[in-house]
Amino acid sequence: MKLRIHGNSLRFRLNRTDIEILDRTGLCEEQVRFGSGSRLVYALEASSVTAIESEFSGGAIRVRVPLQMARTWTTSSQIALVTDRAGSDGPSLLIEKDFECLHRDERTEQDDANAFPNPKASTAHRD
């Protein structure tokens, strides 16, 4: 699972294995470890909440998605879940399936090993 932080927005990108783990266990979690022994945890959880919500507490970013919404997303071709929190206290959230890059190099070959097939790949050669 990849996390991108930009301004007041969070973007989670999950590959096929991440999606399978979220669907099976209800939790996909990663962490960044720092030399001081501290860490930043970021997690996506299927939960009994009624709307997508986020919190930051104890060095952890947690995003909770309603159970049925998470189930539908993980088992369908739906690409993303989006919340726009403009003017509110929390960040805007984009939770999406991670697609293969259209422009490959050595770095993307490794990153894309478990990505979803890019739906634009069949039209990329026409540009």
pLDDT of 124 = 47
pLDDT of 125 = 46
Strand partners, 6: 9
pLDDT of 107 = 52
pLDDT of 89 = 79
Strand partners, 53: 64
CATH number belonging to the domain at 2-99, selected among 3.30.60, 3.30.1360, 3.30.310, 3.40.50: 3.30.1360
Q: Give, for all 127 residues of the chain, the pLDDT tens digit.
A: 999 999 999 999 999 999 999 999 999 999 999 988 899 999 999 999 999 999 999 999 999 999 999 999 999 999 999 998 766 778 999 999 987 775 665 554 556 666 656 666 555 444 4
Is the distance from CB of 91 to CB of 8 less than 8 angstroms? yes
- For residue 99, the number of C-alpha atoms closer than 13 Å in the C-beta half-sphere is 13
Residue spans of the domains in the chain: they are: 2-99
pLDDT of 90 = 86
Is the distance from CB of 16 to CB of 117 less than 8 angstroms? no
pLDDT of 57 = 96
pTM, whole model, 2 decimals? 0.77
Kind and range of the H or E element at 17?
Answer: helix 16-25
